[in-house]
């Protein structure tokens, strides 16, 4: 039986890994935080990460390394996962707040100011058609900036990025897509986007 619930996470499933990711995101808004007897300035992390060339420039930063180490305690990170994590970090530093009520893609279709989705169908289609990590990252940064103070589901975004990177690698290696269409990021995000953009 195919699981057609496209809102559920499918890559970052460990609750401790999810907590580590959310804790790291919360740290980005803190000026003074203590972890393991070490003082952390999350705002300095955010500023440094924003200055890096996305998506892979962030891999040289303390903020990226802190998240990588925290996640590695709870999930196995392959080199592709570290690339996905870099892409996520490059986007996450532009997110104003975490809102988990609905999935990331559903948030893009939300009608926040009237009758039009916050991210237009054309812009969403461009995001769906991104063919390389650099373009995908730039388009994601644009849409999270559009969301602004309305926030983003950080876990859902990270999960989608990890899945997208897996699919990108499969395309690069000329491997077939996953058989279950509901496990493909494009299908999942389209379903979620349409669930809110076509709603009342």
How many CB atoms sit inside 10 A of residue 5's CB?
10
Q: Which ranges constitute the DSSP H helices of the chain?
A: 15-27, 42-51, 62-72, 79-92, 104-109, 121-128, 133-147, 154-172, 185-197
Q: What span, in angstroms and rounded, lies between the C-alpha atoms of 177 and 172?
A: 11
Q: Is the dihedral of CA 180, 186, 187, 192 positive or negative?
A: positive
**pLDDT tens sequence for the chain (200 residues):** 345 677 787 789 899 999 999 999 999 999 887 777 788 899 999 999 999 999 999 999 999 999 999 999 999 999 999 999 999 999 999 999 999 999 999 999 998 877 889 999 999 999 999 999 999 999 999 999 999 999 999 999 999 999 999 999 999 999 888 787 778 888 999 999 998 888 65
Q: Is 130 exposed, middle or buried (0-12, 13-18, 19+ CB in 10 A)?
A: middle
What does the domain layout of the chain look like in residue ranges?
15-197
Which class is domain 15-197? mainly alpha
List, in sequence order, every residue forming a beta bridge with 35; answer none if it has no partner: 38
């Amino acid at each position: 039986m195919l699981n057609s619930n496209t809102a559920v996470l499918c890559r970052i499933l460990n609750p401790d890994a999810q907590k580590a990711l959310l804790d790291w995101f919360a740290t980005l808004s803190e000026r003074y935080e203590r972890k393991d007897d070490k003082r952390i300035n999350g705002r300095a992390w955010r500023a440094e990460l924003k200055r890096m060339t996305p998506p892979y420039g962030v891999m040289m930063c303390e903020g990226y390394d802190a998240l990588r180490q925290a996640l590695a305690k709870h999930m196995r990170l392959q080199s592709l996962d570290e690339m996905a994590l870099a892409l996520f970090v490059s986007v996450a530093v532009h997110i104003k707040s975490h809102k988990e009520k609905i999935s990331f893609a559903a948030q893009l279709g939300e009608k926040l100011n009237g009758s039009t989705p916050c991210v237009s169908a054309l812009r969403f289609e461009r995001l769906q058609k991104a063919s390389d990590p650099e373009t995908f990252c730039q388009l994601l940064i644009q849409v999270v900036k559009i969301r602004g103070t309305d926030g983003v589901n950080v876990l859902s975004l990270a999960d989608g990025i990890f899945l997208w990177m897996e699919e990108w690698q499969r395309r690069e290696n000329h491997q077939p897509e996953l058989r279950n269409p509901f496990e493909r990021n494009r299908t999942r995000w389209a379903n979620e986007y349409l669930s809110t953009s076509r709603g009342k």
